[in-house]
Structure 1
Amino acid sequence: MKKLYQISLIVLSLFMVACTDNPLETIEGTGWQKERNIISILVEGQIGTAVIERDFDDAKIKIFAKEENIADISKVEIKNIELSHGATTINKAGTTLDFSSGASTIAIMSGAGETLNWEVSLLPFVSDLEGDWYIGEIGLYADMWSWESWGWEKYEKINNYLPELSPELDNILSFTVEGADENGNPFGTYEHKPGNDGLYGSFTDANQGWNFNERFRKIPTGSGTWLRDFERNKVIITDENRRVYELDLEVFVDTKEVSIKAEVLYQSELFNWDEQAWAYEELAHMSKSMWYRLTREYVPQAGNDIRSLTVANQVGDATIDAGNKTVTVVIEDNGTDISAIEITGLDVSFAASSNKTVGQILDFSGDYSTEITVTSEAGEAVVWTINLELDIDVSDVSLAGTWSIDDIGVYADLFTWESWGWEKNELLTNYLPNASTELDNTITFVVIGKDAQDRPYGTYENNAGTDGAYGNFVSDDASWPETDFNSRYRKVPTGTGTWILDGETVTITDGGGTDFVLTLEVKTGSTIALSADVEFLSDQFDWDVQNYSYEETAHMSKRMWYNLSK
């Protein structure tokens, strides 16, 4: 039976071969080759990659070129053409297309013999980089150990760290297209021109002794050539000295801006934890890349800072607090009229202006401070407070400095003139818990100078702490006949003012002109107390109230104090 089955298979196979000349023809032949696609095409003068679109038999190609770079628009040579498998065309590499009407046709025949006509349009090339660009921003990216759970990333404008870079921000970068290479990559001339100030920026800070030109000068100054590498999405600029700069290009279609970016050497292993200038570390070691953001329209600069300030008879450098918009200058204690201090140097943000200039006078007669208004190029004005101090020896002024509030206390005399009477020291916050918000405040006494009687004087500030609040000497106990004791215990003023120290008596004058007279007790080199009398009202003690806390707060207290420490 098995032998009979094998004989049957042999006979059947011979029958099939006899009926078919080539049983593999449907696979080995061309009948199955239906594709009629153009995969890629490159023609004379073409710039960039052709845009190939097909929707069934609607087949179109857009080729971008500069016609002035084509010798004969009616005979545009095909440099290269790639078709789908098995497809053919008479329009091979080396043949020409006629674009006199702006379009031409390429017929593609599939292996199966079916033809598809492709409409090929020649369009004027407009480079996304060609033309004039303003510098909108020069930035860096710093990787601050982002691989750690506590790490972070940072994006920063470099001119915030290196102010001498700011003149670059009105410069113009120009890219002119002259042609395209054999791969369709456009090339041309490049120019980096200074703006109205005639200056290029410098990646330096002379005051700090920092020079990062070698690290961050990735966009060359002057003129040169450029090439757009579409395959790698890079712009390659070669300067006049034949130095080559390879830059990544990002195009922002929505805003019509571009960004040209370069990598910088990341050296986190060189980070110096003892270096207090983190800006230096971000610039020198932690930055990974830098970029220029380019805009078609000029972007007015928004900076309105005071970079430096010097005045006549100044001692040392000014202290600038950019966050709080304050500048403090110290001058010699030589009897100078503080209502007429001459400005000898003033530097503000790039393109900004100020209402004071070198040679003009500053009047510090009001609370030893005055103001300078700085207006950015964009028109935003900021008022800076300029504080004045005299260069005097403050080592003998025990009040000088910034103090924390340890506690607020009160002394009560509970009929000590009687044999059964007693006295009591108590934390006032135990009676008036709402006063506790004062305990995270700091109190600062800045010494400005000494008057003719050798009495030190200066400025004062009771600065609200992290909660942003001052103490409120009010009781929440509704059973008390009286609950608001601010007029009784607000002996240390809030806000700012001035002070003068006469022996152990310090008089603080607040911003409204009210004087607060306190006694200074120096306990140690780092602890003091400021105390004041409160009105003793023992004759109003109400024996029927049965609330001693209220009576001590309202009537029996004689003195209150702030214990301060550094």
Structure 2
Amino acid sequence: MQKTILFFLCALLGSALAGCYENDSSGPDMVDPWLRERTPLNLRLESQIGAAVITDDWRDDAHGRIRVQLVTGGISDLKRVKVVAIDLQYNATASIREGSTLDMSTGEGTFVVTAENGETRQYSVSYDPFREPLEGVYVFDPVGGILDGSAPKSSLVLVGGWDGAVVMSTVMDKSWHWGNGYTPADEEDNTVSFQLARVDETSGVSYGTTLNLPGPDGKYANYLFQNNPQKDVNAFYRIIPKGRSRWSKGDDGMIVFYAWDDTQYAEPLFKVGQLEAGSYDFWGKTVSVPHLSFYRSFPGPYDWIDNNWPDDRWFVHNIRNTFYLMKKSSDAPLEDHDELLKNEY
């Protein structure tokens, strides 16, 4: 009896399902999902770092989002950010292509992807600025004398001397060695701006531009040690180039400066390290950094010996390290950094 009832119910259900369609061809049309595909495989804009993050939302199939990271200092006009590459799939098309531009001036641009079957999806593209810790504005941070507490304040510290006779001082600890127009103090009112231009994704090396702008006195320091005869020590004391220059920074954190005209970053001028606030041992001397410091190192030999113990022994000869004591006033470069790069200094 139970089998008979079960058979009857199955037959009834089958008749009901069959009655939904007059024939097999009247069922719902099935669409090949690949014909509806509207998700880009890749998007790359100029000055982009890393891969784009592309997301869709099944609850809102007509819209998607893309997030990228950009070196904004390397983009001349955010209203016309060049599309380097866009990769689609299954015959989909897009309203942008390689070589076209996106308007990112409001922080977000848009484009449309059309699937092979005609369905569309609009993508919003937004960006995060890539942050290079070096980028920003710096000012000098003078400290009192090290050998002479009554000496004029100075931002330039040096360590030098032959083995067994190492000395640390500020350059103004012996202020009488600097003549009129030749004093390191001429640079204390300067402003320095670093701007990132691009990052090499293969090597990870950052590249950018630097401005060392004269302050209200309009001067740069000219490091000429007055000690009969006069001695030019600019090659040791100059840590940030005057006016315009270029820089690169690798994984080791060292900063390499280049002449402004060296657009290929091919011929380094010199290499500079950077220290955060703290105390550091250099040749048995404790260098105190209140905020931060840029510094240079010189390999020697430190074998210039004069038993008359002149100041030359560490100011001119046997120079081991020189330090600019500075502090950061902004994490962004000067607003008119690009405009100021057009001037000669």
Q: State TM-score, norm by structure 1.
A: 0.30
The structure where strand makes up a greater share of residues is: 1
Larger Rg: 1
**Which structure has more RCO (C-alpha within 8 Å, separation ≥ 6)?**
2
Normalised by the size of structure 2, how large is the TM-score?
A: 0.47
